[in-house]
Structure formats: C-alpha cells, structure tokens
Structure 1
Amino acid sequence: MLDTSRSYFPVRDLKRLIGAMAANKMNVFHWHITDAQSFPIELPSEPELAEKGAYGPEMRYSVEDVRDLVEFALDHGVRIVPEIDSPGHAGSWAGAHPDIVTCANMFWLPDGPDNWSTRLASEPGTGQLNPLHPKTYRVLRHIFSDLASLFPDPFIHAGADEIAPSCWSTDPTIRSYLAAGKTLSSLLSTFINSSHPLITSLNRTAIYWEDVLLNAEVNVPGSLLPPSTTILQTWNNGPNNTKLIVSAGYRSIVSSSDFYYLDCGHGDFPGNDSSGGVSWCGPFKTWQMIYDYDILEGIEEEEEARLVLGGEVALWTEQADGEVLDGRVWPRAAAMAEALWSGNRDETGRKRHAEATDRLNGWRERMVWRGIKAEPIQPLWCRKNPGMCNLVK
C-alpha cells in the first residue's frame, strides 16, 4: 500500500513501484489515494474535489493518468485496488463540500497531547464526513461510480478507520442526534448502512480497515457487514485481530503495524514535540522482522486460514516522498514476498535467515541494476565473502 495523500507521487514513481512489485511477484497495489491532507485524483463526477483538495494543479492524477497506470499495472500482472478513505480522514473534501465535513481545518489537539480523548483527528489534518447529511451519500455515489469506471478491480477500499469522536461532536446536528440518546456507533452504522450498498450495487466488494468492526469507541454490528461483500484489513494488535476477524467469518488482509508498516521507526512529525520524536509504531521494521512474521499465527482451523487472503506492507507518507520511496520499500517488501510465496522455514521447520540474507543481498543488487534504489542490507564485503558475516558458522 502506498499513501499518495500526505505526499504526492508522480506517475513515474508509481510505475517504478509497480514494475518493482512485478519483479518481486507481488500482484496487488493498494492505492490509498485520498486522506485528510489532500484529494489528488480527478473524478469526472466530482471535479471540485481535486480542484480544491489537491496540493496544487500539478499534483493531481488525471483520468488519463489513472487509465494509463491501470493499463501499465495489468501489463505487469498487478491489480490496483483504489481506496478513498471515509468517513474519517476526509478533511480534503471540505474545499469542495464544506457542508458535509465536520471539524474541518481545526487544530487537531484542542486540549493538548495529554488529552487524547478530545482529539479531533489521529494526526494533523482534521475532517470527517457527516453521516446525517443526505448530500454525503450523493457525493459518495458519484465517487464510487467513477472509481468503478476507472478501476476494473472487483474491490473498492472504503477506509472507515480512526474515527475521532470529538470531531463529529463539533457539529450541532450530530450533537442533537446524540442528545436524543443515540451513540457514535449508531452514527457510524448509519453511514455504513447507507454507503455499503453504493459499493455493492456496482458489483464491487467493499474493503474496510478493521476499525469498523473492532474499534472499542466507535464500531458497527456485524449484521451491517455481510461477509459475502466485505473484507476487513487488519493493522492493530498483531495476529490477535486477524484471528478475531476470521473467527467472525470475514476474509482478511493482514497489514499488522507491528511488522508490515514501512514508515515506522523514523520518528514522529508534529512540531514542538518534547517527547524526543518517538515513532508511535516504532521500532523500525527490519527486513528480518518482516520475513519472520507468520500471517497465520494463532489460526489453527483450516476454514479460518482460508479466509486470510494475504499480507500487505504499507507505506504511510508523513515522512516519505518520491525521493526516498525506493529505499523505504525495497528490499524489505521483497522479504515479505519471499515469506508469503515460499515460506520462511526450511524442511525441518527452522527459519531460513542465513539463506534469505544471501538471496536478498543478490536480489537487492539486481533491483539496483533495474533502476530501483533499494537499500543495502549488508556491506559489500559480506557479499564477496559468503557466510563470513553470519553469527553462526
């Protein structure tokens, strides 16, 4: 997964990423297109979203760009799954549709970092769609219809993560709704109950982040998320949440932040931070950590194991752009590819660390020859002296 909202990536960068994915036998590009920070995709039915939500005219993906990218990806055996995040992470919609976005352009921590419960967003960049406004669903209908036209993939990722309760509470209509005895979970249920059919009516399966079902503060009942038309993507709590999801009968995509988040370990980005810039999901996810992870950990039933569709490394781009893209992704993503395709153990059940190191060293060199600026994992001396850099002879 690549986030192109927090940082814009030119089409040439996306093509280079997809080409490298194909070389590594990775076949799905989850494109997290929009977020609170920017709305960089031009949609025919809602042109103002990009006009007023992108960082600038030169930082948009045109219809022609998207079609070219989809064709390029298919030529390389890679599917593109588009994501338009909602109802949270929607601040970038406010320029075009301020009437359907709550708490837009407000300071994200009104009561400071010690009062997390009153946050208006999980990071700088506020704004959530108002589930009580009928126009919300007219706009969503246009967006999903355009996505279905541009992307042939049978899946649309609709986000639904990290709802900030206080953001919705800034809206007077929502405050009246809550004062009448309703809850934030029932408000999210209204949103899902109204928006999920907009996706399925296009013959698409909806993907959501796990929060929609598992978040402790704001969630929806499983009855609103039919497993036949819903896939849930895990990112919290390691293998435990994957187990919870498949036990409930849902298909799952595993993107555990404990293992598969490529942005972790680079510090934090808010200013005047006196904590030392500690990364919320640190430490840095080494290729060894990624290689070691078993996405079926704790899942013993064959029926449940079949519901785990695969794993996905993710690069959120608060601190990444095209200049560092290759090194942030490669060769760590290659370690995941080998582990998922070939397994990370030998015939005796032992982890294949030493063998994998030698293979990854050689593969990293070949990626560099292909024009991918993958990071080295050992000094060149180790490459020229096989086995001499191991801990055990």
Structure 2
Amino acid sequence: MKVLAPLLVVLALSVQRSCSAGDDLIYGYECQQSRCVKVELDAQNFQKAISLPVCRLFCGDGVPGTIWPRPSGLVNFDNYMLTVDPDNIQFILPTLSKQAHLWAASKERFMQMLYAGVPNKNILKKGGRPLIVTVELQSTLDDVVPKLTLDTDESYTLQISSSNNSAATATITASNYFGARHGLETLSQVLIYDDIRRELQILARADIDDRPAFKWRGLLLDTSRNFFSVKSIKRTLDAMAVVKLNTFHWHITDSHSFPLEVKSQPELYKLGAYSPRKVYSHEDIADIVEYGRVRGIRVMPEFDAPAHVGEGWQHKDMIACFNAQPWKNYCVEPPCGQFDPTVEDLYPILEDIYREMFELFDPDVFHMGGDEVSVDCWNSSKRIQDWMLQKGWGLKESDFIRLWGHFQTEALNRVDTVAHSQQPSITLWTSRLTDVPYIDDYLDKERYNIQIWTTGGDSKIKDILKRGYRIIISNYDALYFDCGGPGWVQGGNNWCSPYIGWQKVYDNDLDNIAGDYKSQVLGAEAAIWSEQIDEHTLDSRFWPRASALAERLWSNPKQSWRSAEARMLYHRQRLSELDIGAESMQPEWCLQNENQCPIDAYDRKF
C-alpha cells in the first residue's frame, strides 16, 4: 500500500459545496503515524481534508479499517477514493430462479445499508461514477434454495476497479450464495458516506480474498425465561449478518414457558406460554428461518431435555419434581422439572415435537440440550425408583446416569425417525453425561458434538477432545453475556459475575483452549440466558460484544483487542446507524481522537 500523504491531495475532488466561516463547524482528519487525528477545517485546508470514514479506511495496518470482521486473507488496495452516483448503482446477479428471492432481498438490504450512514438524502451530492456490482458463482449447475451446512464454503473474493472516467466495478466471486452474500457485506463497508463532501465514495481499487477461520460462528438466545418478539429476533439477525456470524441458536423452550406452537400437541403451548400473544407460530418460525437464510444464517433449534422442562407438561404425568419446593433441592433455579424417562408415552410426544421442528427448521445440526440434570429430582420419584429397581439397577449416581443414557438413546431414535435418512449431527451441552467414563458409554463421537459451557481452562475439555469429539465453545467466563447483573435467586450479583467486557471476548483464543486438538473445534457461540434480559435490553447485551466474537471466529487474529479498538469504536457507531441499540463503549470523543483514551497498566499514574 502507498504512503498516505498523497491521499490528501488525491482526495481533493471537485467539491461542489461552499465552505465559509458562516457554515457549520466542520472537522476533518489527517493520518499521522498511523492514527486518525482530528483537525478543524478552514479555507486553507478544506480541499485536502478527509472524513473520518475515509481516514479509517486507509490509516492503519494495511487492512481497510471500516471492515468488521477483519478479512482473513490477502488484502490489497489503493489509497484513493472515487465518487459514486447514488442514482446509478447497477447489479448483475445470478439468474437462478429458485434463488431469485434471496438475491432480490440481498440487493434491497445492500441499498438500505448504503443509506444508513447518510443523515439526510436531500443533502447527498448527485453525480459521480456509476457503480456496477457483479456477483459470479463458481457453480450454477444446481438451481436450488441453498442450505447452510457444516460443509458449506463461505469464502469469497472481492475486486474493485475502475479506469479513466468509466464506471467503478465491484466483482464478487464465490462458490455459493452464502459466500457471495458475505462479499456484499464487505463491499457495503468500503462504500462510505463522506460527510465533508456529502457524497458516496468507494475504494478506487481493491482485491480482497476472504474466508472464515471457523465453521460455527453463533449466538444463543433463550426465549423461554422471557419472550422476545419476532421483530427483536430479526433485529438480532440483521446485526449478525453485518459481522458474518452464521448460526442463531434458538433455545426456544425451558421449564419457565413453552412458547413453541406444536400443532400435534397444542396443550403444550396453550398451557405453557406466558400468554396467547407470546407464542411462536409456524408462520413466525418460517419467517425467521427465511430471514436468516437471506442473511447467511442458519437458525438452529434446541429442544432441551431431559431437564429444563415444566410449564405446558402439567397434565401429561411424565414430569418429575415440577415446581418442587424448596426448589434448590431439586434444580438450579425455579421452577424445577425433568422428564421421567420411565414413562413410555413420553417418547411419541417427543417424536411429534421433533417432527414439527424438523419440518420448520430443516436443521443440519440439531441441539438436544442435556445439561443440569438433577439426580435428586429423579430420586425423589417413587415411580422412577421402582422402575430402576425392577430393572435390577441400584439408586446410586451411576445408575441415574444410566437412566439418563436410556433417555438419550430413546430420544435420539425419535430424532432419526423424523429426520429419515439424514441422520443430523447432534449437539449436547457439557454435563455429567459428557464426563469420563459416561461419555464413552452413552455418546457416539460420530454423532455428537459437545458444546462447552464450563470455564475455558476446564480440564474436562481436553478429556472430550482426546476422545475425538468435535466441540463448540461457549465458556461462561468469556461468552455468557448475561453475566454481571444482580442476583435474582439470591443476594449480591448473579452467579457468573462480573460483567464480561468486549476485550475479554476478543481475546478468548479458541486455539489456546483446544491446544493440540484445534481441528476439532467447530467454533463458538456467545449466549444470552434471559432470566434478567428481555427484548428491551437485548441489543445492548449482545452488541458490540458479539462483534468481538465475530472477528475472533472469522479471522482468528493474533493481535490483542488493543489493536482492534479504533476499528471497534467505528464499527459500534455503524451498528447504531443501522438501528442496532449497541452498548456505548466510550465517549464519542474517543472515537474522534484515536488512541487517546486507553491507558496501559504500566502507564497508569495515581
């Protein structure tokens, strides 16, 4: 990349706007020692001034600073911009008929994002070069609605070029829709609004080769403890798409409520939802799944069992210790409830639930939950005790783990029945069932992925990896975003306090956690368990911390959070422009005065 000094001259484009002392107070930026420095504009320096987005593009470490997450591959670009005519942006998109609705939706979203940073379209300067955006798929043989799987190639290349006074061209090449969609996302981040000249500008030339470091890049949302509207879920998917996260893990039900419409078992949601208005209908779910597809996101359902069940099941006589008191003797939070695996009528009902979930979500990976099973809950049931003793079992912990293994085998059979020949990959949470020696007895490594929710340094992670299981990392000491609130079942703060800052999320290195077993790490998820969060606080809990996770999972940076801070501040502002209620990180002064706010520990003076 060339030095930036010539940029100040090259960017002195023909400015059709007056600037005098009577106008608004206007600031521009200069790149000094790889840092954007704010300067007051006057008649002498106006012509060579650059805006903050342009400065962030060029002033850094060789990667356009407006792109989040940072590209993982080769990046090469020239340090000057071209003015784009906002009324002359053309798209040449694949003509696959079954994908037409996806490309149309992506085009519409691209244009919405383009204008998100423009405060008033009426002040936007007209004229400039046409922009031609071309998407080329390497294979167009299969005209099908694309499905994101663990084998999907999400890579893309983006080439921006121009010559003389001709149109600017942006060509995105990818294997499939999902990679191409990521390319459009990156393109939108190098097409910026210059608030000095009040025009749209794009990099004059760029070559970007990009692909994700990890296959699984997710967020988990629990919609049982508190209900979240379809609108708020879609807003989360919008933000996920911006940072190329690809998995929305939907923890739909729990012991607190059952908001999922199951038409074959209507009593579950009619009795289990908080109200008739707080139910996800089949139409709602289909809408969310397709909304995610457009944005490159799989919507993966979780049906947590055998624990974490209660409301909705009261009349079915197949739940142990439902709402038992004192609750702390039977579960980790009220209301308690676990399936009774000895009830044969339970499994046809599970099959009904699984069938409808598979019809709605068509998942390539299905989450069966499996955490926080209480032996004391099961041991409080005489029916369960009698069944186990009749089998010739005892009533020790290992016997109850055997009962758990029995449930998991029967439940998996029902999953395979409704999935027909697909045999989807199954994910379970870490638990006593995933401990040695039980994991060897009950869980086939060819079928099960294990989602880690213990600390990142837990020795049990290596026990799981040594046995050949693939894992998804959600270590609570870095990726539980509900941590840091007040206690709600006890005094003080909640169980996983303190609050986790974006810096710790960014530096949560999955390679360090996995050690010699890096190849078995599918990726990671950040989780929001919603006991103390609802849709009114959802955005600020996820964002911008989930963006820190997104860069960790996309480019797996070797640098620490300090090298990303200036870009993160800019990115957070962009999320706000896109109507995502991202939490403020610093005063806006810090955004405009790069690297003047953070202080290293060794620089502190008291």
TM-score (norm 2): 0.59
Task: Give CA deviations for 1:123-147 in whole Å, capped at 9, x if unaligned.
Answer: 1111100010001111111111111
Deviates more, 1:379-388 or 1:33-42: 379-388
Partner residue, 2:533: 320
Q: Which residue of 219, 232, 235 maps to 2:453? A: 235
Task: Give CA deviations for 1:100-127 in whole Å, capped at 9, x if unaligned.
Answer: 1111122253xxxxxx6xx211111111
Q: Which residue of 81, 97, 100 maps to 2:318? A: 100
8 Å contact from structure 2 (residues 479, 527) kept in 1: yes
Partner residue, 1:142: 352
Partner residue, 2:427: 207
8 Å contact from structure 1 (residues 239, 297) kept in 2: no
Q: Which runs of 5+ in 2 are unaligned?
A: 1-219
Partner residue, 1:156: 366
Q: Which amino acid aligns with 1:197?
A: N
Partner residue, 2:289: 70
8 Å contact from structure 2 (residues 401, 433) kept in 1: no
Partner residue, 1:113: none
Task: Give CA deviations for 1:227-249 in whole Å, capped at 9, x if unaligned.
Answer: 22111100013243332222111
Q: Measured at CA, do residues 376 and 280 of structure 1 come closer, stay the same or move farther in structure 2, by a change above 3 Å?
A: same
Q: Which runs of 5+ in 1 are unaligned?
A: 110-115
TM-score (norm 1): 0.90
Partner residue, 2:594: 386
Partner residue, 1:128: 338
Partner residue, 1:198: 414
8 Å contact from structure 2 (residues 456, 513) kept in 1: no
Structure 1 distance, partners of 2:526, 2:315, is: 32
Query: Does 2:471 match 1:252?
Result: yes
How does 1:54-69 map onto structure 2 within 5 Å? Answer: 54-69=273-288
Task: Give CA deviations for 1:310-345 in whole Å, capped at 9, x if unaligned.
Answer: 010000000000000000000001011112212232
Q: Measured at CA, do residues 300 and 121 of structure 1 come closer, stay the same or move farther in structure 2, by a change above 3 Å?
A: closer
Q: Which residue of 381, 384, 393 maps to 1:174? A: 384
Deviates more, 1:149-158 or 1:174-183: 174-183
Q: Tell me which protein shows more strand as a share of its residues.
A: 2
Identity %: 36
Q: Which amino acid aligns with 1:103?
A: C
Q: Which residue of 493, 501, 510 maps to 1:295? A: 510
Q: Measured at CA, do residues 356 and 263 of structure 1 come closer, stay the same or move farther in structure 2, by a change above 3 Å?
A: same
Give, in angstroms, the shift of residue 178 of structure 1.
Answer: 4.7
Give, in angstroms, the shift of residue 222 of structure 1.
Answer: 2.4
Deviates more, 1:320-329 or 1:148-157: 148-157
Structure 1 distance, partners of 2:444, 2:375, is: 25
Partner residue, 2:191: none
1:328 match: secondary structure: helix
Partner residue, 2:482: 263
Task: Give CA deviations for 1:188-232 in whole Å, capped at 9, x if unaligned.
Answer: 01101211122234122211111153358xx84424321221111
8 Å contact from structure 2 (residues 323, 334) kept in 1: no
Q: Which residue of 179, 188, 197 maps to 2:404? A: 188
Task: Give CA deviations for 1:21-49 in whole Å, capped at 9, x if unaligned.
Answer: 01111000000001110010101222211
8 Å contact from structure 1 (residues 3, 31) kept in 2: yes
Q: Which amino acid aligns with 2:412?
A: H
Partner residue, 1:345: 558
Partner residue, 2:498: 283
8 Å contact from structure 2 (residues 366, 426) kept in 1: yes
Q: Which amino acid aligns with 2:514?
A: I
Partner residue, 1:91: 310
8 Å contact from structure 1 (residues 242, 254) kept in 2: no
Q: Which residue of 367, 374, 387 maps to 2:582? A: 374
Query: Does 2:289 match 1:81?
Result: no
Structure 2 distance, partners of 1:142, 1:188, is: 21
Number of aligned positions between the proteins:
371
Bigger radius of gyration: 2
Give, in angstroms, the shift of residue 96 of structure 1.
Answer: 4.8
Structure 1 distance, partners of 2:461, 2:566, is: 31
Structure 1 distance, partners of 2:546, 2:305, is: 27
